[in-house]
Structure 1
């Protein structure tokens, strides 16, 4: 796939200016040129850039990170893959077997295993200890070329179906008066964490208005003008430039001054942001459940 430098910025969170500096100073990437002379990048360039960012965030000097060969980066990623193995044998069994069924596109086996996991562990622990680590491992495997994007789409689709089924099984009668508005920004399409938050909130008897993925700001405003939700919850999952994320948060904070705004997702990104006064970071699932348990009390 051919990618522009703007595509790289959007997918990696590294600004165009920084990408060009890394290319010029450290030869981080070597873009190709089309027959018309236009520079473009490939999936391999994107993976290399993501790896460089990860190494930099781990404390490796940018000059050293950029100097590593693809083989050396793969060795480091392989180490990360090993550390993703769960210390709990039961959880690791489910992760590894679900992964095996997923890469074989074996829907019956995958579904049976996931149902068994949910029955054994409950939806909350299944998500925290199996589903979420599974999705993280898929990302690492993609960067090592061990899987293709179709595997992730296949697995995500089944997980999404299970979450929706669990949500639909929760009665909506006798909901509390407190309302939560859930959405993803216009450039976010990873809705599985948001669906899980929907499940948790509804399990606590909370009224949820779920807008889903890729919601424009004016649509959020329109919904809020009607429902007047006390709480807004959204996720920033993909990496993006810090300024872009900060500007979006600032706009939300100005627009919804009378509501509590909760943010979850990419901890490395969120940890670098200066959050507005009415924005709170949910760094873990327990942060959400603690608030809900406090409301129940």
Structure 2
């Protein structure tokens, strides 16, 4: 029999949790049923420690505590549990969206949010999914109809959640819009979610609008920056006109650029380019918040 031999402070040190968290898990999830010493204090066994370590490891992978406990209790060999179930959900979501199965896609998203934290869903499921859909469209293995359906679904599903993210009052407003005539919103949608997670006040306009309308909206909203996305090279001429007009009529507004088309011309667009990863985005955004950072 595996008898208890560790007090709660020892267990906390062994598994990297604080005693308050361990007690909360016991109450909420009945994760452990420790023995009691003669004086009534909890004493934990080696099995208790191993179980907590397993749950903590799964939590670091992105699982919620309740899901990790559920998986632990499953009557299967734990080595058979997928290392990252998020990958499996991402593949399922891709199949559902490219087969226009909206209800099934909603079910998969519900499952993802029930299992993982919001950050995990966005960074490890939605982000790579958006990239995969964009890449498949560029290669011609899916149509623009598939891309538009996926974009509309994800935008509708995530817009409500993103509005629940708190805005940092010390961070400025950013306007996000595609280049004039540009309709490919996927990359811009993901960047918008990144901004909202970081606390920025974001206005997402999506598909491109004519240059005069874009200038009018920019002057009305007075954002600290306008982020424009351009995927198709044929739209670069209109993009250049938009940049020129914003710089002339709203000279205090920073301009950020992303998308395949502009990334092919680093010598032309220079420090307006946002880059393609978290570190590059943070570096570009730091110019908007010189005193507080991102």
Please indicate the TM-score interval, normalised by the length of the shorter structure.
0.5 to 0.7
Q: Residue 162 in 1 paired to residue 157 in 2? A: yes
Q: 1:116, 1:104 → 2: CA distance? A: 19
Query: Which SS does the other structure have where 1:240 is aligned?
Result: helix
Higher RCO (CA 8 Å, separation ≥ 6 residues): 1
Cα distance, 1:110 vs. partner? Answer: 1.5
User: Which string of whole-angstrom CA distances, capped at 9 and with x for unpartnered residues, describes residues 229-259 of structure 1?
Assistant: 2222121123437666555544544444322
Cα distance, 1:206 vs. partner? Answer: 2.5
Query: Which SS does the other structure have where 1:209 is aligned?
Result: strand
- Report if the CA contact (8 A) 2:127-2:190 is conserved: no
Go from structure 1 to structure 2 and tell me whether the alpha carbon gap of 1:181 and 1:135 turns closer, same or farther (over 3 Å shift). Answer: closer
Q: Residue 259 in 1 paired to residue 259 in 2? A: no
Equivalent pairs, count: 208
Q: Residue 216 in 1 paired to residue 210 in 2? A: yes
Go from structure 1 to structure 2 and tell me whether the alpha carbon gap of 1:208 and 1:199 turns closer, same or farther (over 3 Å shift). Answer: same
Cα distance, 1:164 vs. partner? Answer: 0.7
Cα distance, 1:219 vs. partner? Answer: 2.1
User: Which string of whole-angstrom CA distances, capped at 9 and with x for unpartnered residues, describes residues 19-72 of structure 1?
Assistant: xxxxxxxxxxxxxxxxxxxxxxxxxxxxxxxxxxxxxxxxxxxxxxxxxxxxxx
- Report if the CA contact (8 A) 1:261-1:278 is conserved: no
Identify unmatched segments of 5+ residues in structure 1: 1-87
Cα distance, 1:217 vs. partner? Answer: 1.9
Go from structure 1 to structure 2 and tell me whether the alpha carbon gap of 1:89 and 1:238 turns closer, same or farther (over 3 Å shift). Answer: farther
Query: Which SS does the other structure have where 2:267 is aligned?
Result: coil
Structure-1 residue corresponding to 2:188: 194
Query: Which SS does the other structure have where 1:109 is aligned?
Result: helix
Q: 2:172, 2:136 → 1: CA distance? A: 41
Pairing of 1:119-130 with structure 2 (within 5 A):
119-130=114-125
After TM superposition, the runs of 4+ consecutive aligned structure 1 residues lying more than 6 A away are none
Q: Residue 272 in 1 paired to residue 269 in 2? A: no
Identify unmatched segments of 5+ residues in structure 2: 1-82
Q: 1:106, 1:241 → 2: CA distance? A: 32
User: Which string of whole-angstrom CA distances, capped at 9 and with x for unpartnered residues, describes residues 113-165 of structure 1?
Assistant: 22333454544443443334334434555577765544433333221112212
Q: 2:203, 2:213 → 1: CA distance? A: 13
- Name the stretch that deviates more: 129-138 or 213-222: 129-138
Go from structure 1 to structure 2 and tell me whether the alpha carbon gap of 1:275 and 1:248 turns closer, same or farther (over 3 Å shift). Answer: farther
Structure-2 residue corresponding to 1:228: 222
Match of 1:238 among 232, 240, 246: 232
Go from structure 1 to structure 2 and tell me whether the alpha carbon gap of 1:170 and 1:137 turns closer, same or farther (over 3 Å shift). Answer: closer
Structure-1 residue corresponding to 2:73: none
- Report if the CA contact (8 A) 2:96-2:104 is conserved: yes
Give the alignment's TM-score, normalised by structure 2: 0.56
- Report if the CA contact (8 A) 1:163-1:196 is conserved: no
Query: Which SS does the other structure have where 1:263 is aligned?
Result: strand
Which structure's CA Rg is the greater one? 2
Go from structure 1 to structure 2 and tell me whether the alpha carbon gap of 1:198 and 1:205 turns closer, same or farther (over 3 Å shift). Answer: same
Structure-1 residue corresponding to 2:277: 284
Go from structure 1 to structure 2 and tell me whether the alpha carbon gap of 1:206 and 1:271 turns closer, same or farther (over 3 Å shift). Answer: same
Structure-2 residue corresponding to 1:184: 178
Query: Which SS does the other structure have where 1:234 is aligned?
Result: strand
Cα distance, 1:272 vs. partner? Answer: 1.8
Go from structure 1 to structure 2 and tell me whether the alpha carbon gap of 1:157 and 1:249 turns closer, same or farther (over 3 Å shift). Answer: same
Go from structure 1 to structure 2 and tell me whether the alpha carbon gap of 1:248 and 1:176 turns closer, same or farther (over 3 Å shift). Answer: same
- Report if the CA contact (8 A) 1:166-1:199 is conserved: no
